[in-house]
Amino acid sequence: MGQINLSFLLIVAIAVVSFMLVSISRSASALKDNSIKYTQQLVQMVNDNIDSYIENMENIAQIVTRNSDVRSYLLSEENRVTYGRRVEEQFLTFKDTRKDIYNVGVLGHNGSYLINMRSIAINPHVLWESLSWYRKTLNEKEALSSSHVQNLVYGEYPWVVTISKIITDPVEGKEIGVFFVDLNYSSISDLAENVELGSKSYVYIVDESGDIVYHPKQQLIYGGLWHEDLEGVLSSTKTSDNWEFEGKLYSMTRSEITGWTVVGVTDMNEMLADTRSVVNLYYIIAVCLIGLAMLLATLLSEKITRPLRQLQSSMQLAKDGDFDIEISEDHSQDEIGDLTDSFRLMISEIEQLIARNTKEQEEKRKFELNALQAQIKPHFLYNTLDSIIWMAEGEETKDVVLMTSALAKLFRKSISNSDEMVTVNEEMEYTRSYLTIQKMRYRGELQYSIDVASGIADAPIIKLIVQPLVENAIYHGTKYKSGGGTIKITADYENKGIVIRIADDGVGMSKEQLANIFDDKGQQGKDAQLDEHRSVGILNVHQRIQLHYGDEYGLSFESEEGVGTTACIYLPIQTGASHAK
């Protein structure tokens, strides 16, 4: 897949994913808001039902506490049986008409009581004055208890919610007893359980003190196996509030009538599970959009990239060095057409430049070789002829013949052979002639040896690369050494190439001279003229080698003052090159 396809697909993918993320986030947020509103409405409905139910029970308490028969039953001892029968009938009527009432009774401060009917005995082991709902009634005149076990009646222990109210003597205005109604716990739990919140969601009720009135896991809470955020409920100062706690959404409503707080708990995972169908739908839409984008990207990019691929193929050929390519003119009036025409013109110009550069490099190498050959002639010829003259005057006939023969060989090989390539053996013979002359000039103070490894004598190398280094070794090394010096020339295989070493035991070079060995400006010192001659010759050889073979080949030097210098020539192994014999 091309870059245009990928770019187009990436843009579409980013847009689709961004749309998905925003949509999913909005959907989750909307679902959460709707869930909060729904839960709040449900807990408000439960709260309203409980308020209505409790108000109805309080009306009953109001009727009983104002009933003269009840007050007379508690105050009169003479007609207590008569009044007790009337009160009992009234209580039984309440119980028959309201199945949610478990107990209804009065407790007199004088010790008299009546619960449901006169035959029911009170639990002798319980003092009603010690009951928490009773004490609360005395303090607050009326009270609504939390859910609890009512053990006031002998042999009965129902789970109830108690509504109680003070009974007052209207004549004397003093409190004479307490009326109470025990409501079946199921009457409250049914109001909370008949709420559809979800399989993992529920409603619970707490009173003003934080005591549980109803909870579906009430036994687990009392056993310490279930925990609720009661602190969050009690700390809220609002009548309606919402918050999140341990992966659950809490919605509460506090009743001003009962003081109870109805709390709806919604499991967040269950709530967000409804978004999965929406998310799956978004995934399907995203896959369809990306697939459509891929199809459109393929069709559009094919039209756009066809000329680009053709141009790319031509560029690859040009990169590999093949400039013999035909690029037809693109007559389209767009950027690709302009680019194709520009590339076609560029290839044409590059071909011309390559041809011109090749010709110039060939001329340059010939010029440099001629310059190097001409460089050694005047000065060297003068000194050699001068040596021949004084040897002739001294009647040293054999030496004259030997030096003249060596000089003839040297110039014959240098002048007559115009080829740039010679064999290793021919280069060494040329160098040997040069060293023969120099040895005779210095009267035995110069010693030399040439050692060529078997098998590379006929290997072709470029011409005149050893003699300039030998010349440097003599004029800048052994010449200044007391007692003469020695030059050793070796040629051998090394690292799949040819290495020619020219080692002398002369005066060596300083670190500064060694660092500037290839400086074509020479050294600024007492031997600046000689140093310049040395640097130009070395640089000429180094550049010719790199120009011919590449930058990984050339010269390197090792030197130590007072010890000597070694010049290394690194060349590749080439076969089949032509050379002069």
The tokens 């990207």 sit on which residue? 297
- For residues 401 and 397, give the distance between their C-alpha atoms in angstroms, rounded to a whole number: 6
Q: What is the DSSP letter of 312?
A: H
Contact 251, 242 (CB under 8 A): yes
Q: How many other CB atoms are there within 10 angstroms of residue 511's CB atom?
A: 10
349-378 pLDDT, tens digit each: 777 787 787 776 666 666 555 555 545 556
Q: How many other CB atoms are there within 10 angstroms of residue 261's CB atom?
A: 24
Q: What structural domains does the chain harbor?
A: 66-188 (3.30.450.20), 376-572 (3.30.565.10)
Q: What is the DSSP string of 458-506?
A: T-EEESSSSHHHHHHHHHTTGGGSTT-EEEEEEEEEETTEEEEEEEE-S
Contact 414, 468 (CB under 8 A): no
Contact 72, 83 (CB under 8 A): yes
Instruction: Give 220-237 as a 3 state SS string.
Output: HHHCCCCCCCHHHHHHCC
Q: How many other CB atoms are there within 10 angstroms of residue 129's CB atom?
A: 11
3-state DSSP assignment of residue 314: helix
Q: What is the pLDDT of residue 274?
A: 64
Q: What is the pLDDT of residue 524?
A: 42
- For residues 252 and 513, give the distance between their C-alpha atoms in angstroms, rounded to a whole number: 93
Q: Which tokens in the block code for residue 412?
A: 């014959």
- For residues 474 and 485, give the distance between their C-alpha atoms in angstroms, rounded to a whole number: 8
Q: What residues in the chain have per-residue pLDDT under 70?
A: 1-5, 28, 198, 271-277, 304-306, 308-312, 320-336, 360-380, 382-383, 386, 390, 393-395, 413-418, 520-536, 575-581
**Would you tell me the crossing angle of helices 424-441 and 335-393 to the nearest 10 degrees?**
40
Return the sign of the alpha-carbon dihedral for residues 361, 517, 371, 426.
negative
| Neighbouring C-alpha atoms within 13 Å toward the C-beta of 369 | 22
Q: What is the DSSP string of 121-144?
A: PB-TT--GGG-HHHHHHHHHSEEE
- For residues 31 and 39, give the distance between their C-alpha atoms in angstroms, rounded to a whole number: 12
- Contacts for 524 with CB less than 8 Å, ≥ 6 apart: none
- For residues 537 and 409, give the distance between their C-alpha atoms in angstroms, rounded to a whole number: 22
| pTM for the full predicted model | 0.47
86-122 pLDDT, tens digit each: 999 998 988 888 888 999 999 999 988 999 888 888 8
Contact 333, 327 (CB under 8 A): no
C-alpha distances out from residue 226 to 263, 271, 338, 540, Å: 16, 21, 77, 95
> Chain-centre distance of CA 132, in angstroms?
64
φ, ψ at 328 (rounded to 5°): -70, 150
